[in-house]
Structure 1
Amino acid sequence: MVLLNKCLIAILVFFSSPLIFAQDTSAVSDEMFRINNTWMMVATFLVFIMHLGFAGLESGFTRAKNAVNILFKNVSILCIGILAYALVGFNLMYPGDQFAGSFFGFAGFGIGAGSAGLTSAYNEGYTYYTDFLFQAMFAATAATIISGAVAERIKMGSFMLFATLYVALAYPIVGMWKWGGGWLQELGFHDFAGSTIVHGVGGWGALVAAWMLGPRLGKFIDGKPRPIAGHSLPLAFIGAFLLWLGWFGFNGGSVLSADPGAVSLVLVTTNLAAAAGALGALVVSYLASKTYDLGMVLNGVLGGLVAITAGADVIGPTGSVIVGLAGGALVVLSMLAIDRMGIDDPVGAVSVHLVCGVWGTLAVGIFGKADPAVLGYSLSFTNQLIGVAACGVFCAIVSFVFLTAVKMIAGLRVDQEEELHGLDAAEHGIEAYSGLPFSAPN
C-alpha cells in the first residue's frame, strides 16, 4: 500500500508540473547527477540517429545515380562536424562568463576538463564531456541541412570545405549569441532547441548555396519548374521517421536535465506539432495538386518539428498544434514559391528548416507563456524578430563569403557531363545499386 501511494504521488507530480520549470543545477545530488547524465547521453544517441535519418531522406528524395554521393556527404559532415566543433566550435559557442552579453568570444582551441570531465562548461547537472557530445551533434546537424539543398550538382571537395568552415565558425558564433550567454540571451530572445540557432543557420546556408549553384540540369524548362522525382520514397519515409524519433532527443535533451515534468511537456508538444505538421501539409498539398502527396506530408512532419523547436518548453499543447499545423502548410507553400523563384532545392531543405524555423521562432512571441522570474526574461515578439533578423543577415553574408572563397579556390559545381551521368560515377567510381549503368542518365 505504501508503495502504491508513492507511485500515485509520483504520477501526480509528473503530470501536474507547470509550463516552465526552474532548475537548480548548483546543488545536484549524486543520484540526480547520474540520472541527468544518463538522460543526456540517451538524448545524444537519439540526435546521432538523426544523421541516419537525414541520409535516408536526402538519398530517397534524389536520383539513384547520386545515392552514394548523398551518403558520402552525410558521413563526412558528421565526422567533420564533430572534429571541427572539438577544435574550435565548442569554445567559440561557450567561451565563458567573461564574454556575457557580447557578440564574440573564444576560450581556446580543443576540449578538455580536469578529473575525467566531471564539471560541465555551463551546466553542473551533467559532465563536461556529455555536454560536448550533445552539442557536437547539433553542430553537425546545421551543415547536414545544407547537404540536401545542394544535392546532385556540388563538388564533394568544395562542399566539405564549406561545411568545415560553417560548422567551425558560423554556427558556433550564432550559438554563442544565445546559448553561450551572448547578446541575444541578454536581449531576451528565446530559442529553446534551435529553430533559428540550428535550423535557421542551416537554412540560410542552404538558401545561399542553392542560389549560387543554380538549378540542376533539366529542372526548369522555358523558365517553368519540372518535377524531378526521387528514386525511393520508402527510403525517404524511413529517413523521416528516424528524424521524428531523433527529435525526442533533440528537444527532450535540450531541457538539459532529466526533470520529469519539463521533459514530458517538451516531448508532448514536439509530437503534437509533428502530427499537426503532417496534417497541414496534407491539406494544402491536396488543394494544390488534388493528390495525396507522400513527400509533402513527410516534409510537413519535419516542418512541424522545426517550428515547435524554438518554443517546445513555453508553448502548451494547444499552441503546439497550431504552430505545427501552420508549419506543415508553410512547407508546401514555400516549396511552390521557391520553385517559381528559379531556385532548385531537391529535398525542400530551405522550406522545412529556414521558413519553418523563422515561423516557429516568431511563434514563441505569439503563443509562448512563461514566468519571467523563472525564465530570466519576458517573451517578446519584437525580441524574437530581432533575433531572427540578426541571425539571418549574419548567416547569409557569411555563407556568401565562404562559398565565394571556395568557388575561387576549387569551383562549386561539377561539369555538365558529370552531372548528367551522376556523381556516383564521376566522384566515387561506384554505384549504389547493382546493375545501374553509369552511361545512362536517369
Structure 2
Amino acid sequence: MSVPLLLDTVWVLLAALLVIFMQVGFALLEAGSAHLKHAGHIASKQLISFATASLFFWAFGYAVTFGAGNEWFGTSGWFLSLPDEKGKIPVEVLYLFQLSFAAVSLAIAWGGFAERAKLIVYLLFGALYTSVVYPVVGHWIWGGGWLSELGAQDFAGSTVVHLQGGIAALIATLLLKPRIGKYGPDGNPKTMQGHNPVFITVGAMIIWLGWFGFNAGSTLGTKDGFFGYVALTTNLAAAAGVLSAWLAVYAMTKKADIPSIANGALAALVAITAACAFVEPWAAVVIGAVAGAMSVWTAVAIERMGVDDPIGAFSVHGLAGIWGTLSTGFFAAPHLVEYTGIGRPGLFYGGGWTQLGVQALSVLVAAVYVAVVSWAILWVMDQLFGLRISKEEEIKGLDRSEHGIEPEAVPQEASAAGKPATALRASAAGEAI
C-alpha cells in the first residue's frame, strides 16, 4: 500500500470512529431529554440500534447502496462480497465509514419513537430501515443512481442521512400518537421537560465533535488538505446555529432554553452537511444561522399542530435537512463545484435555477419514498403486534417494564432545607407527566 493510500485509509477509518462515537452523544442527548423513568431504556436502545445497523448494513444495506446494479438500487455485493480495488481504500474501511452514517440516520429516526415504543420495534424497524429504506436513497445520490447522474449535491448527507431519519421519525410519532399528558383537554401542549440538561449539553457537544468525521471524512482522502476546509465550514455553521437559536428562543420566552440551544447546533450541522464542500465560509455562517433559528420556530409550530416529537427530530433533522439540501442550489461557489466535480454553481453565483431544481427534486423524492415505505413497515408491525406500550407501562416507565429496573429506594430523611429527599429527587428528575 502506497503512503498516500495508507494516509487516506487511516483518515477514513479515523473519521468512521468519530462518527460512530456520535452514538454516545445521541444516547446522552435523548436520555437527558426524556423522563428519568425512561432514560436507561433510551440509552440501551442506542446500543441495540447500532448492533442492528452493523449486521444488516453489512448483509444487505451496503450492497443496495454501493453495489453494481441499476440507477435505482444495487443488486450485488451482499455480505460485503465486493473485491478490493487496487489503489483504492479497502472495502472493509469504506463499510465502517458508511455504516456510521446509516447508524446515525437510524438514531435520528428513533427520536419519533421515544418514550412510547416497544423495544422489539427498534430491532425490527432498524433491520428493515438499514436494509431497504436508507440504502435506496443512498444509491440514488451516492451510489451512482439517477439523482447522482443529474448532479445532486449532498456532500455528507443532509438528504441521505438527516432528511431520511427526520421523515421516518415524523411517520413514527404520527402513528404512535402523543405521550400521555402531552396535551391538555383544550388541546394545548404542555411542557414535558427532560430530566438532565447536562446530558443534553454534553451529548450535543459530542455530536458536534463527531461531525468533523461526518463532513470532513467525506472527502475520503487527505489530498490537498481539503478536509480542513470542510471542517472549517462545518464549525462556522454550528457556531452560528448555537447563537441564532439562543437569540430566537430568548425572543420567544425570555429564557435561554438549553434543549433549544443544543438543537440549534445540531440543526446547523445538519444544514451544512450537504453544502460543506460547495460553499464559502460566509455562506456557511448564513446557512447555520438560518437553520438554528428555524429549529426553534418550527419545533414550536409542530408541537402546536398536535405532533409530539420528543426531541425535535423532524424540525432539527428533517426540516434543517431540507434547508441544507436546497442551500447548495443558492450558495454553491463555482470554484468549489469545479474542485469537487459535482453539480453546478448556485443561483447567487449566476448558475441559474438548474441546480436548485435538482436539489428540490432530491428533497421531494427522498421524502416521499421514506415516508411511504416507513409508514408501510410500521403499519404492518402495528397490525401484527402493536407499536406502542400500554398506558400502565408508559406511566411506570420503560426502564421497569422493558428492562426490569426497579426505582431506587430513597431514604426518607429530610433535606437541609426541610423538604423530603424523595420530593427533591422527584423534582430534579422531572418525573411529573
TM-score by length of 2: 0.90
Question: Aligned pair 1:308/2:272, yes or no?
Answer: yes
CA separation of 1:126 and 1:383: change in aligned 2, threshold 3 A: same
Question: Aligned pair 1:186/2:158, yes or no?
Answer: no
Does the Cα contact within 8 Å between 2:111 and 2:309 map onto a contact in 1?
yes
Aligned residue number for residue 92 of structure 2: 129
Pairing partner for 2:75 from 100, 106, 115: 106
Aligned residue number for residue 196 of structure 1: 159
Does the Cα contact within 8 Å between 1:36 and 1:125 map onto a contact in 2?
no
Secondary structure of 1:225's counterpart equals coil
Pairing partner for 1:356 from 294, 298, 320: 320
Question: Aligned pair 1:400/2:375, yes or no?
Answer: yes
Secondary structure of 1:224's counterpart equals coil
Aligned residue number for residue 384 of structure 2: 409
Pairing partner for 2:21 from 49, 52, 57: 49
Please list, as runs of the form range in 1=range in 2, the aligned pairs for 1:318-337 lying within 5 A after superposition: 318-337=282-301
Q: What is the alpha-carbon distance in structure 1 between the residues aligned to residue 409 and residue 220 of structure 2?
A: 45
Pairing partner for 1:252 from 216, 232, 239: 216
Does the Cα contact within 8 Å between 1:285 and 1:292 map onto a contact in 2?
yes
TM-superposed deviation, 1:133: 0.5
TM-superposed deviation, 1:260: 4.2
Matched to 2:136, the amino acid is I
Instruction: Give the number of aligned pairs.
Output: 404
Matched to 1:377, the amino acid is G
TM-superposed deviation, 1:280: 1.1
Does the Cα contact within 8 Å between 2:138 and 2:160 map onto a contact in 1?
yes
Please list, as runs of the form range in 1=range in 2, the aligned pairs for 1:193-272 lying within 5 A after superposition: 193-221=156-184, 222-272=186-236
Does the Cα contact within 8 Å between 1:176 and 1:182 map onto a contact in 2?
yes
Does the Cα contact within 8 Å between 1:195 and 1:358 map onto a contact in 2?
yes
TM-superposed deviation, 1:431: 5.0
Matched to 1:52, the amino acid is V
Question: Aligned pair 1:169/2:162, yes or no?
Answer: no
Q: What is the alpha-carbon distance in structure 1 between the residues aligned to residue 311 and residue 98 of structure 2?
A: 25
TM-superposed deviation, 1:409: 1.6
Question: Aligned pair 1:378/2:344, yes or no?
Answer: yes
Q: What is the alpha-carbon distance in structure 1 between the residues aligned to residue 407 and residue 322 of structure 2?
A: 36
Listed one character per residue, the Cα deviations across residues 109-145 of structure 1 (whole Å, up to 9, x for unaligned) are: 211355xxx538xxx5421110011001111111110
CA separation of 1:434 and 1:38: change in aligned 2, threshold 3 A: farther
Q: What is the alpha-carbon distance in structure 1 between the residues aligned to residue 42 and residue 342 of structure 2?
A: 42
Percent of residue pairs bearing the same amino acid type:
39
Matched to 2:96, the amino acid is L
TM-superposed deviation, 1:295: 1.2
Listed one character per residue, the Cα deviations across residues 32-56 of structure 1 (whole Å, up to 9, x for unaligned) are: 0000001011101100100000000
TM-superposed deviation, 1:411: 0.4
Matched to 1:103, the amino acid is W
Q: What is the alpha-carbon distance in structure 2 between the residues aligned to residue 60 and residue 393 of structure 1?
A: 31
Does the Cα contact within 8 Å between 1:158 and 1:410 map onto a contact in 2?
no
Worse-superposed segment, 29-38 or 296-305: 29-38
Q: What is the alpha-carbon distance in structure 2 between the residues aligned to residue 202 and residue 56 of structure 1?
A: 18
Matched to 1:128, the amino acid is V
Q: What is the alpha-carbon distance in structure 1 between the residues aligned to residue 408 and residue 317 of structure 2?
A: 30
Aligned residue number for residue 416 of structure 2: none
Q: What is the alpha-carbon distance in structure 2 between the residues aligned to residue 200 and residue 386 of structure 1?
A: 13
Pairing partner for 1:148 from 95, 111, 114: 111
Q: What is the alpha-carbon distance in structure 2 between the residues aligned to residue 153 and residue 361 of structure 1?
A: 31
TM-superposed deviation, 1:433: 6.3
TM-score by length of 1: 0.88
Does the Cα contact within 8 Å between 2:171 and 2:375 map onto a contact in 1?
yes
TM-superposed deviation, 1:163: 1.6
Aligned residue number for residue 287 of structure 1: 251
Please list, as runs of the form range in 1=range in 2, the aligned pairs for 1:17-28 lying within 5 A after superposition: none
Q: Which runs of 5+ in 2 are unaligned?
A: 346-354, 411-424
TM-superposed deviation, 1:293: 1.2
Aligned residue number for residue 14 of structure 1: none
Does the Cα contact within 8 Å between 1:65 and 1:431 map onto a contact in 2?
no
Q: What is the alpha-carbon distance in structure 2 between the residues aligned to residue 46 and residue 52 of structure 1?
A: 10
Aligned residue number for residue 23 of structure 1: none
TM-superposed deviation, 1:251: 0.5
Matched to 2:100, the amino acid is M
Q: What is the alpha-carbon distance in structure 2 between the residues aligned to residue 383 and residue 432 of structure 1?
A: 53
Matched to 1:49, the amino acid is F
Aligned residue number for residue 61 of structure 1: 33
Q: What is the alpha-carbon distance in structure 1 between the residues aligned to residue 259 and residue 121 of structure 2?
A: 29
TM-superposed deviation, 1:373: 5.1
